[in-house]
Homo-oligomer: A and B are copies of this chain.
Amino acid sequence: MKRVNNPPRTSWNELIQRPQLDLEFLDGAVKKIIEEVKANGDRAIKALTLQFDKIQIDNLLVSEKEISDARNQLSDELVNAIEVASGNIEKFHAAQRRDRQIIETTKGVTCWRKAVAIEKVGLYIPGGSAPLFSTVLMLGIPAKLAGCREVFLCTPPDQEGKINPAILFAAHSVGIRKIFKVGGAQAIAAMAFGTETISMAYKIFGPGNQFVTKAKQLVNQLGTAIDMPAGPSEVLVLSDETANASFVAADLLSQAEHGPDSQVVLITNSSQQGERVEKEIMEQLTKLPRQHVARKALENSLNIVFSDESDAIDFVNEYAPEHLIINTKNCDVLAEKIMNAGSVFLGQYTAESAGDYASGTNHTLPTSGHAKAYAGVSLDSFTKNITFQKITEDGLKTLGPVIEKMAEAEQLIAHKESIRIRLKSLE
């Protein structure tokens, strides 16, 4: 870890830099994939799957049998764990529902908002060595709660043309009936424009590699909504001398194992504590199967000492971490000062892993400093608010002259006329 002692504010801008995702070079390749899928639908999907995933897929849609077989391939313990986690995620997201509130802004002028589900949403779940079934829950549960009419999922097939049973089970358990065997940019293109088999989505959710990220950017520009911009995952741990160094080390390592580009930052109030944590990291590291990955991530990580607590908080807010662990004696006080973060974990026993899987909060969160303007996925992400207004005769008599005056000043005379003609009829 790179050690830094009380860095002056002038150096912060450099310290908070994340690796720039240079996706420009993918532009041509991904545009070509999108064009092919748009033009040739399923045929293009199958050809691209053969080309990139090295597998010939005849049926893009996962069969009923494959889904029902999935349960039997999982241990009862895992099924139970998925069910407990699902219960918590459901409880937290269900509480995000809002009642309609009708506001009378002027006598006779009533306005309200109504949250309406996005009708068609597509979820993307990456393939690779680890089956990210937890992301299926994090996206599928709020989609179900919102009442989205069509929720479907794309995920790449393995070398035998199969999908991991934990993904199939998680999808089935949240009510997703359509799962398609397709990955990469071609999956994003298929959901954006639809094919003979794959449904078209109004909004696309989910993580992915550089091709997937580029494809999401491109289809977003062409009109399909996406959950949020994506970058490598991050944790910042803010700790004091009361924090158990081995817990802090374990939290940093659980971020570092994600990938060599994972961003790991430790802030302590003394260099002694920083050293204790580093020592613990070195000890725990040797036991990890993904230690080669974690080691690379740690090479670029920061170990910062801030003697002054308010400097530390200001730095955290400038960094705007995806995950923020506050492991200090006064964590509740500090929590109130956080302006920019994706999700915050308070105290000694609140490991980041809890939020990744089962506390109930969503693990799809803004990275790369995007937490300054973006929130993580929530129930809101699967709905949009429509505003309504209704004006009575009396309401128009009161408010009409105001509207006329403003329309006139903006030189929009037909706007003024639409009021005048109504007021005249009421004379």
Contact = CB atoms under 8 A, between A and B. Distances in A.
Interface string A29-71: 0000000000000000000000000000000000000000000
Given A109-B354, A375-B385, A405-B77, A410 B98 contact: no
Contacts of A260: none
Interface string A239-267: 00000101100110110111000000000
A333 interface: no
A105 B84 CA distance: 10
A209 interface: no
A108 to B, nearest CB: 9
Contacts of A113: 96, 378
B130 A250 contact: no
Interface in A126-166: 129-134, 166
A388 to B, nearest CB: 5
A84 B423 CA distance: 18
Identify which of A109, A353, A391 gathers the most chain B CB atoms within 10 Å of its CB: A353
B134 A410 contact: yes
A415 B353 contact: yes
A371 B372 CA distance: 25
Contacts of A15: none
Contacts of A369: 223
B361 A414 contact: no
Contacts of A123: none
Interface of A: 77-78, 80-82, 84-85, 87-88, 91-92, 95-96, 98, 101, 103, 105-106, 109, 111, 113, 116-120, 129-134, 166, 202-203, 217, 221, 223-225, 229, 244, 246-247, 250-251, 253-254, 256-258, 284, 287-290, 294, 331-332, 335, 338-362, 366, 368-376, 378, 380, 384-393, 395-396, 399, 401-403, 405-407, 409-419, 421-422, 425
